[in-house]
């Protein structure tokens, strides 16, 4: 516990994130990931083409995809930082996505429309 809050571990987290190289672009996984406790988890996946490559393995996982990507990207901490802060403030999925896109645009200078096309939800 931290200040009366319980931190979920061993599959008990409310949100999971992956930020980095999309290794699924290079190999296939054939396992199915099913949610055995039926609780919905929130997910952020910041990697190149993460929606395309992570969608099949996450199909039956009962996850709420807060932010994932439709193209090549630089998976850097500022995008995750702003998305996570928004999430921890209790913002909606769309607000979390917007904060991620605004941060990505700020540092990558790709235009807010481009950032919003790149960083999508569900």
Q: Which structural domain, as residue segments, surrounds residue 89?
A: 15-25+38-120
**CB 57, CB 29: distance < 8 Å:** yes
60 within some domain: yes
Show Cβ contacts of residue 8 under 8 Å, excluding neighbours closer than 6 positions: 14
> If you average pLDDT over residues 59-74, what whole number do you get?
92
84 within some domain: yes
7 within some domain: no
Nearest C-alpha neighbor of 63 from the set 38, 98, 28, 89: 38
51 within some domain: yes
Predicted TM-score of the model (pTM): 0.84
31 within some domain: no
Nearest C-alpha neighbor of 39 from the set 9, 12, 20, 65: 12
* Total tally of structural domains belonging to the chain: 1
57 within some domain: yes
CA distance 101 to 106: 8
Predicted pLDDT of residue 122: 87
Share of the chain above pLDDT 70, in %: 84
């Amino acid at each position: 516990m931290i200040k009366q809050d319980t931190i979920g571990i061993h599959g008990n987290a409310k949100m999971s994130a992956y930020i980095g190289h999309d290794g699924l672009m290079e190999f296939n996984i054939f396992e199915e990931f099913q949610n055995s406790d039926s609780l919905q988890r929130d997910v952020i996946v910041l990697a190149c083409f993460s929606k395309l490559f992570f969608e099949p393995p996450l199909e039956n996982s009962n996850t709420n995809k807060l932010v994932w990507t439709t193209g090549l990207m630089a998976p850097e901490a500022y995008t995750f930082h702003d998305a996570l802060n928004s999430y921890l403030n209790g913002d909606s999925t769309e607000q979390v996505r917007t904060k991620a896109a605004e941060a990505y645009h700020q540092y990558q200078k790709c235009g807010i429309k481009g950032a919003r096309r790149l960083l999508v939800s569900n």
